[in-house]
Amino acid sequence: MKKPLNFAVLKYMTTVEIACVDDVMEALKDEYADWKMFKPAGILEVLMTGEKNGLLVEDHYAYNDKGELMIYYRAHEEGREIINSYIK
């Protein structure tokens, strides 16, 4: 049984140094591409919610190749511990 999409996004953040929506979409597309919720806006909302609640912190922001804004997030040590303790 696959992890819920939100879990997969947060869990992915504990495996990388920093990541933006494009990175998350690229990393999870094989498993979740056919999910209705697997859209950039939905993934961004998960990341922004994680940041709002202290699980992630913003690192920097820049435009991607398509000229879209990408905010890069980082899971700090405490955030990683919390995510890993709740999501196995």
Site residues (vs another protein, CB under 8 A): 1-7, 10, 35-37, 45, 48-50, 52-53, 55, 61-63, 69, 71, 83, 85-88
Phi, psi dihedral angles at 83 (to 5 degrees): -60, -45
Looking at residue 69, what DSSP letter applies? E
Minimum CB separation of residue 17 from another protein in Å reads 21
Residue 6 or 80 with smaller CB distance to another protein = 6
| Shortest Å distance, C-beta 69 to another protein | 5
What's the CA gap between 82 and 63, in Å, rounded? 30
